[in-house]
């Protein structure tokens, strides 16, 4: 801790929170201790008040001069033990033996009012030993993007890292042009990734693997500790969460865009909002990322990629799964093989709910696929199609908001409607109840690319964060009809379409 802070009593933004840094107590080869690099002119963009409150932090103090200095990395909060984590990973299928927090610093961990331990990390906080040739900084646009989309995911009920705050730095970062710099304060159940295990495995560090696995069990999967084979139970529990997570993404039309193994988090939260996007018109092959030339991370590939990533995790765990290498491989394979069925179960259950079905029938997945096929053919908007289906059930607003009007080729959709109606009729559910259940799971508001882009343009070009605030306010209640916010529900006009997204680097 720097002198000035050691001398000062712990008052200010983090006064009421007690850092307890369990990762910093792991073996020193897992990370490098270092402080964020100062910036020249920190300025507040936003503090997330409900999240600050959940963490037991004083939001006003965070927004104060002293708080902003901390959020920018110019001062350390008392109790922080800053470090950069090392990891490795497969990027687009190619092995990178050494990655790590190249532009992020873990300040430490705080146990929130809900009893959950969370990492507090600054992203864009300067160079580290893992920066390779890059600058360790983040540009304002990607920071705004991550803030908006991660908080939208949270409001949609999808496990995700969150954003506690965003500040500008007063310094330029140089990408294709000079851009304003910013720092995001990211909050996560932890930042341990598939790639963290891979790093230790690739160094033949079985002792390290055991220490990391024990930490993960303790922190994220305590029930695995009681199993006959705790590490196998941990692997299975990780897989279960990932299967559910990817299903949840796909149920809202989310494309992560960069599902490298270093971007798959062990606790099962969505992490790394780089070139991600929500689809407007549905297509299973949809790709937004400017660097995903092969479509490896296309919408419809996400489940099989998740399984591939989990196979890499399983491989990294082989040295600690069983003393017998053959038995270890057998165990690992048996667990990884369960992924498709778990994913399909989660996806099917979610689709049933989106279609307002209360019971389970064997043909339900095929029925839902029929709608997706109609949407593909008709280039229909994914979000509005599902949202407006409820209008067909109870007749509300149907004159103006009929899903039929979203399809270029309504014939295929209308045929599907008949099949859906026949299926629904086999259930004794009142239309009002069915429609209400559908509106509770089919969001009206998602962070559409053009809206995110519009907010970023205002921030980047004019230093105006009003549009970001307005967008965040709408996205905080994605399932509510918000009559004043009708514009935010609309798909982009042809001129508004944002066809590509870019990495945050």
Rule CB under 6 A: which residues touch ligand AMP?
A: 99-103, 130-131, 134-137, 258, 262-263, 272, 274, 503-505
Partner touching 352 among ligand AMP, Mg ion, none, CB below 5 to 8 Å by kind: none
DSSP state letters, 116-152: -EEEEEEES----TT-TTS-S-EEHHHHHHHHHHHHH
**CA-to-CA dists, residue 89 to 104, 183, 192, 202, 391, angstroms:** 17, 24, 12, 10, 46
Q: Using the rule CB under 5 A, is 146 a contact of Mg ion?
A: no
Taking the least distance from each CB to ligand AMP, the nearer of 13 and 136 is 136
Taking the least distance from each CB to ligand AMP, the nearer of 359 and 500 is 500
* Tokens found for residue 481: 């009809």
Q: How far is the CB of 95 from ligand AMP (least distance, A)?
A: 14
Q: Using the rule CB under 5 A, is 263 a contact of Mg ion?
A: yes
Of 138, 139, 104, 101, nearest to 121 by C-alpha is 104
Cβ–Cβ contacts within 10 Å for residue 128, how many? 23
269-279 CB burial, b ≥16 within 10 A, e <16: bbbbbbbbbbb
Closest CB to ligand AMP belongs to which residue?
102
Partner touching 486 among ligand AMP, Mg ion, none, CB below 5 to 8 Å by kind: none
DSSP state letters, 32-78: EE-PPPP-S--EEEEE-HHHHHHHT--HHHHHSHHHHHHHTTSSPPT
Partner touching 102 among ligand AMP, Mg ion, none, CB below 5 to 8 Å by kind: ligand AMP
Partner touching 131 among ligand AMP, Mg ion, none, CB below 5 to 8 Å by kind: ligand AMP
Q: How far is the CB of 72 from ligand AMP (least distance, A)?
A: 16
Q: How far is the CB of 87 from ligand AMP (least distance, A)?
A: 7
Partner touching 123 among ligand AMP, Mg ion, none, CB below 5 to 8 Å by kind: none
As a whole number of angstroms, the distance between CA 476 and CA 423 comes to: 33
- 360 SS3 class: coil
Angle, to 10 degrees, between the axis of helix 206-220 and the axis of helix 230-251? 60
Partner touching 280 among Mg ion, ligand AMP, none, CB below 5 to 8 Å by kind: none
463 Cβ contact partners less than 8 Å away, ≥ 6 residues apart: none
Partner touching 376 among ligand AMP, Mg ion, none, CB below 5 to 8 Å by kind: none
Site string for Mg ion, 381-420 (x = CB under 5 A): ----------------------------------------
Site string for Mg ion, 338-357 (x = CB under 5 A): --------------------
Cβ–Cβ contacts within 10 Å for residue 358, how many? 13
As a whole number of angstroms, the distance between CA 278 and CA 255 comes to: 6
Considering CB under 5 A, how many residues would be counted as binding Mg ion? 2
Task: Label residue 258 exposed, middle or buried (CB < 10 Å: 0-12, 13-18, 19+).
Answer: buried
Which of 262, 272, 280, 292 is catalytic? The answer is 262
Question: How open is the CA angle 397-401-407, to the nearest 5 degrees?
Answer: 155
228 catalytic per annotation:
no
As a whole number of angstroms, the distance between CA 158 and CA 168 comes to: 28
* φ, ψ of residue 306 in degrees (nearest 5): -60, -40
Task: Label residue 453 exposed, middle or buried (CB < 10 Å: 0-12, 13-18, 19+).
Answer: middle
Q: How far is the CB of 124 from Mg ion (least distance, A)?
A: 13
What is the DSSP pairing of strand 117-123 with strand 104-111? Answer: antiparallel
Partner touching 473 among Mg ion, ligand AMP, none, CB below 5 to 8 Å by kind: none
Q: How far is the CB of 24 from ligand AMP (least distance, A)?
A: 19
Q: How far is the CB of 275 from ligand AMP (least distance, A)?
A: 9
Position among 101, 146, 236, 272 found at the interface with Mg ion (CB under 5 A): 272
Residues marked active site are found at 262
Residues that bind Mg ion (CB under 5 A): 263, 272
């Amino acid at each position: 801790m720097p002198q000035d802070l050691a001398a000062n009593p712990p008052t200010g933004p983090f006064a009421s929170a007690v850092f307890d840094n369990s990762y910093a107590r792991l073996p020193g080869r897992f990370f490098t201790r270092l402080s964020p690099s100062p910036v020249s002119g920190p300025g507040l963009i936003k503090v997330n008040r409900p999240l600050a409150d959940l963490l037991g932090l004083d939001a006003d103090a965070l927004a104060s001069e002293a708080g902003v200095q901390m959020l920018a990395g110019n001062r350390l909060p008392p109790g922080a033990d800053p470090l950069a984590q090392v990891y490795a990973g497969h990027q687009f299928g190619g092995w990178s033996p050494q990655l790590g927090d190249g532009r992020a610093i873990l300040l430490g961990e705080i146990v929130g009012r809900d009893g959950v331990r969370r990492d507090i990390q600054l992203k864009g906080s300067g160079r580290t030993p893992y920066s390779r040739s890059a600058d360790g900084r983040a540009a304002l646009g990607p920071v705004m993007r991550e803030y908006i989309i991660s908080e939208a995911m949270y409001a949609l009920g999808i496990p995700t890292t969150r954003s506690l705050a965003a500040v500008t730095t007063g310094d330029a970062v140089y990408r294709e042009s000079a851009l304003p710099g910013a720092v995001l304060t990211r909050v996560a159940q932890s930042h341990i990734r598939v790639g963290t295990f891979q790093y230790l495995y690739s160094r033949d560090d079985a002792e390290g693997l055991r220490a990391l696995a024990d930490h993960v069990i303790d922190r994220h999967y305590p029930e695995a500790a009681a199993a006959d084979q705790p590490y196998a139970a941990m692997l299975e529990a990780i897989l279960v969460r990932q299967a559910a997570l990817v299903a949840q993404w796909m149920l809202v039309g989310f494309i992560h865009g960069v599902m490298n193994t270093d971007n798959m988090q062990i606790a099962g939260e969505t992490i790394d909002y780089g070139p991600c996007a929500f689809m407007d018109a549905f297509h299973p092959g949809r790709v937004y990322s400017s660097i995903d030339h092969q479509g490896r991370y296309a919408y419809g590939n996400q489940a099989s990629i998740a399984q591939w990533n989990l196979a890499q995790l399983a491989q990294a765990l082989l040295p600690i799964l069983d003393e017998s290498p053959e038995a270890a491989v057998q165990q690992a394979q048996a667990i990884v093989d369960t992924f498709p069925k778990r994913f399909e179960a989660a996806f099917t259950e979610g689709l049933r709910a989106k279609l307002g079905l209360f019971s389970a029938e064997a043909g339900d997945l095929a029925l839902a696929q029929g709608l997706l096929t109609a949407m593909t053919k008709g280039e229909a908007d994914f979000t509005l199609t599902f949202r407006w289906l409820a209008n067909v059930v109870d007749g509300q607003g149907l004159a103006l908001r009929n899903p039929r009007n979203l399809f270029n080729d309504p014939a295929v959709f209308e045929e599907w409607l008949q099949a859906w109606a026949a299926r629904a009729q086999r259930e004794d559910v009142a239309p009002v109840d069915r429609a209400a259940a559908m509106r509770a799971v089919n969001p009206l508001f998602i962070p559409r690319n053009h809206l995110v882009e519009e907010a970023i343009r205002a921030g980047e070009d004019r230093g105006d964060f009003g549009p970001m605030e307005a967008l965040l306010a709408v996205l905080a209640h994605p399932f509510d009809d918000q009559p004043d916010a009708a514009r935010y529900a609309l798909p982009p006009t042809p001129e508004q379409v944002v066809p590509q997204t870019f990495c945050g680097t």
